[in-house]
A and B are shown apart, each in its own frame.
Chain A
Amino acid sequence: MAGAGERHLTGWALTNTVVIAYALFPVWWIAALSFKDPSTLTDGNFVPEKWTLENYRGIFETSEFTRALINSIGIALIATVIAVVLGTMAAYAVARLRFPGKKVLIGMSLLIAMFPPISLVSPLFNIERILGIFDTWPGLIIPYMTFSLPLAIYTLSAFFREIPWDLEKAAKVDGATPAQAFRLVIAPLAAPGVFTTAILVFIFCWNDFLFAISLTSTTRARTVPAAIAFFTGSSQFQQPTGSIAAAAVVITIPIIVFVLLFQRRIVAGLTSGAVKG
């Protein structure tokens, strides 16, 4: 009996190890690369022989990367705030109110969730040039918040449906005005859902590459994923491998932090809209 149980446990341990290794090894590899000394960069070793922070020092010395990092953070944050605010309003209406056109709204956001971004790149490229927002922060914030709105609306309305409706009634009977019922009862209960949605939207914006390379042309608004693709190496004779690896690790850190801190919520948020829906 004990033997069988142990074998069972070993089996699971093995399975779990395989899964974790599968998930993490490309991350480890790029991290290893970023710590390699330029002389050993091409040795193909899985573990650096000579550890160095040289690559990190390199990318933080030039404005090419720091500027892109600021762009990435600023653009993703602003787009997230706007998308979550607009999404919260719409999701509240979808979850709580009776009004005509609700199906149209849901259908439209579904459509946009399926929309191929490349189809928008050429018209947006031209429109933004005409409006003078090409290669600016708003030029990226606008498509980001639009494409993350469906995600925000779905996730938030799923969360809002979970809030017990009776509580608002109870608050009303307890003497609350609608505003008080919202501020004192509904808002504290909705906050976790809004927060989770914000993380998902942020990851979405942080991740984008297509818009970032299409709608920027200089370092003015170029975000890190796009900037990496334009890295040239610190000297003409050098491959930018080390710099790219280091920059990649830097922009991966926030994601890892989010995942470690909020994994339960991220999972709930990712699946609530799609499955229970």
Chain B
Amino acid sequence: MNTPTPATSTAPGVAPGRTAALSEGARQERRLGLLLCAPAVVVMLAVTAYPIGYAIYLSLQRYDLRFPNQASFVGLSNYAAVLSSEFWWEAFWVTLLITVVSVAVELVLGFALALVMHRAIFGRGSVRTAILVPYGIVTVVAAYSWQYAWTPDTGYLAALLPSGEAPLTEQWPAIGLIILAEVWKTTPFMALLLLAGLALVPEETLRAAMVDGASAWQRFRLVTVPLMKPAILVALLFRTLDAFRVFDNIYVLTSGAHGTGSVSILGYDNLFTALNLGIGSAISVLIFLCVGLIAFAFIKLFGAAAPGSQEAGR
């Protein structure tokens, strides 16, 4: 109310300052909020936004680390070189294949695992502890374990194969083993996300469906999955982006030989083996664009809500 009451005059000096005090409080809250976020924002910008900008700049240069003084602006020719190279396209399709197959397998396996953990009558704790191990373990360690397992003479798994087979030296078996290693390592994470989603499906709704005559499969397909859609999409989005940048497993298992390299491996090799900073940067930027495209597609096509977006404004 704007009408001043006579009473305010009995409290001199209070009325005029008050509205100012309120906005002062709100302003203080703003200032504190910005101040608290500032360090995180500065760090994130300085270490990601600036370098990606720098990467774009580098990608427009001919820049060979062996001859750093001969760097010169070459426009988009690095991109032309990459995009017309069969190495890029092979790496791209291999990456895509690994991404799609491993994420699909993980979704199915992860769901199975989540259901086991959700419904198990006993041993839930030990199952959960056990599956946290693949999540926590250093990827390189797991990759070496797989590598030795599949190496002829050293490994027990290779011993199961007809003698003379060295699966890691042939393209398709090797890709299969890379996918296997990826699936082993990241299914638990998927399962945990899905388990948390399962916990959000009200038990009573499932009972109601049971009373309505839905079979177990129908309950799963018609009640559980739709209710879990947000959790599933978030899990898929994160895992897809994660799978697309596959590096560690391939580096250890095959070093990208025999046509098994991913785009990340290709970028790394151009940088540290060929020492070509220009081409390497162009590949970096292209990967960045691919990841952006995948994220965009997920959000647009499936309406995957970014975590935190619902409560972005309190």
List the interface of chain A (C-beta within 8 A of B): 8-9, 12-13, 15-16, 19-20, 22-24, 26-27, 29-30, 33, 41-42, 44-46, 86-87, 89-90, 92-95, 97-103, 105-110, 112-127, 142-143, 145-146, 149-150, 153-154, 157, 161, 203, 206-207, 209-210, 213-214, 224-225, 228-229, 241, 244-245, 248, 251-252, 255-256, 258-260, 263, 266-267, 270-277
CA A30 to CA B156, docked complex, whole Å: 11
Tell me whether B55 and A123 are in contact (CB under 8 A).
Answer: yes
Please state if A126 and B54 are interface contacts (CB–CB under 8 Å): yes
Closest to B264 in A: A118
Q: Which of B133, B149, B231, B306 has a CB less than 8 Å from the CB of A107?
A: B306
Residue from the list B26, B121, B309 in contact with A106, Cβ < 8 A = B309
Stretch at the interface among B9-17, B98-106, B206-214, B281-289: B281-289
Q: Which of B169-177, B216-224, B266-274 contacts A (4 or more CB under 8 A)?
A: B266-274
Q: Are A116 and B141 in contact (CB under 8 A)?
A: no
Instruction: Check: B82 CB closer than 8 A to any chain A CB.
Output: no
Interface centre among B122, B131, B140, B288 (most CB of A within 10 A): B140
Most B Cβ at <10 Å: residue of A46, A90, A118, A228: A118
Q: How far is the CB of B285 from chain A (nearest CB, A)?
A: 7
A22 to B55, CA, bound (A): 41
Q: Could you tell me the distance between the alpha carbons of A126 and B280 in the complex, rounded to whole angstroms?
A: 12
**Nearest neighbor of A16 in chain B, beta-carbon distance:** B123
**Assuming the A-B contacts A15-B116, A259-B129, are A26 and B197 also in contact, with contact meaning beta carbons closer than 8 angstroms in the complex?**
no
Interface residue from A126, A146, A214, A266 paired with B48 (Cβ < 8 Å): A146
Min distance, Cβ B254 to any Cβ of chain A, angstroms:
13
Q: Please give, as numbers and ranges, the residues of chain B lying within 8 Å of A106 by CB-CB distance.
A: 306, 308-309, 312
Partner of A241, one of B154, B251, B271, B288: B154
Which of A101, A149, A277 sits near B43, CB closer than 8 Å?
Answer: A149
Residue tally, chain B, CB below 8 Å to A: 103
Is B1 in contact with chain A by the CB < 8 A criterion?
no
Chain A residues whose C-beta falls within 8 Å of the C-beta of B291 in the assembled complex: 114-116, 119
The answer to whether B284 and A123 have CB atoms under 8 Å apart is yes
- On whether the beta carbons of B144 and A93 are closer than 8 Å, the reply is no
- Whether B138 lies near A206 (C-beta < 8 A) is yes
A30-B144, A209-B140 known; A122 and B131 CB under 8 Å? no
Closest residue on chain A to residue B291 by CB atoms: A116
Can you give 17 A-B contacts (C-beta < 8 A)? A13-B123, A42-B153, A44-B156, A90-B36, A93-B37, A110-B307, A122-B55, A122-B284, A146-B47, A149-B40, A203-B136, A210-B247, A259-B132, A263-B132, A274-B193, A274-B196, A275-B196
B138 touches A252 (CB 8 A): yes
Q: Is B189 touching A270 in the complex (CB atoms < 8 A)?
A: yes
In the complex, chain B residues whose CB is within 8 Å of the CB of A121: 267-268, 271, 284
| Apart from the given pairs A24-B133, A44-B153, A120-B47, 13 other A-B contacts in the complex at a CB distance below 8 Å | A16-B122, A20-B130, A42-B154, A46-B156, A89-B36, A90-B37, A116-B287, A119-B291, A149-B40, A209-B138, A210-B247, A259-B133, A274-B235
Instruction: State the main secondary structure of chain A at its contact with B.
Output: helix
Question: With a CB–CB cut-off of 8 A, which chain B residues contact A108?
Answer: 41, 44-45
**B133, A123: Cβ atoms under 8 Å?**
no
In the complex, B142 has a CB within 8 A of chain A? yes
Interface residue B158 (Cβ < 8 Å from any Cβ of A): yes
What is the distance, in angstroms, from B131's C-beta to the closest C-beta of chain A? 5
Q: Which residues of B contact A (CB under 8 A)?
A: 26, 29-34, 36-37, 39-41, 43-45, 47-48, 51-52, 54-55, 58, 113, 116, 120-123, 125-142, 144-146, 148-149, 153-156, 158-159, 184, 188-189, 192-193, 195-197, 200, 230-231, 234-235, 238, 241, 244-245, 247-248, 251-252, 263-264, 267-268, 271-272, 277, 280-281, 283-285, 287-288, 291, 295, 306-314
Q: How far is the CA of A90 from the CA of B142 in the complex (A)?
A: 34
> Measured between alpha carbons, how far is A106 from B40 in the docked complex, in Å?
11
Q: B266 — nearest CB in chain A belongs to which residue?
A: A118
A29 near B138: Cβ-Cβ < 8 Å? no
The answer to whether B141 touches A248, judged by C-beta atoms less than 8 angstroms apart, is: yes
B133, closest chain A residue (CB): A23
Nearest first, the 3 closest Cβ-Cβ pairs linking A and B are A99-B33, A277-B307, A271-B196
Cα A113 to Cα B307 in complex, Å, equals: 11
In contact, A120 and B48 (Cβ under 8 angstroms): yes
- Measured CB to CB, the nearest residue on chain A to B120 is A12
A229–B140 touching, CB < 8 Å = yes
| Bound complex: CA A153 to CA B189 (Å) | 19
A122 touches which of B127, B267, B309 (Cβ 8 Å): B267
Q: Are A44 and B159 in contact (CB under 8 A)?
A: yes
Please determine whether B288 and A116 come into contact, CB atoms closer than 8 angstroms: yes
Q: Which residue of B lies closest to A26 (CB)?
A: B145
Cβ-defined partner of A123 (8 Å) among B34, B54, B129, B307: B54
What is the bound-complex CA distance between A58 and B126, given in angstroms?
34
Asked if B184 contacts A274 (CB within 8 A), the reply is: no
* B165 CB, min distance to chain A CBs, angstroms: 13
**Is B149 a contact of A29 with CB atoms below 8 Å?**
yes
Report the minimal beta-carbon distance from B108 to chain A, rounded to whole angstroms.
14
**Contact (A126, B138) CB under 8 Å given A44-B156, A146-B44:** no
Q: Which residues of A contact B247 (CB under 8 A)?
A: 117-118, 209-210
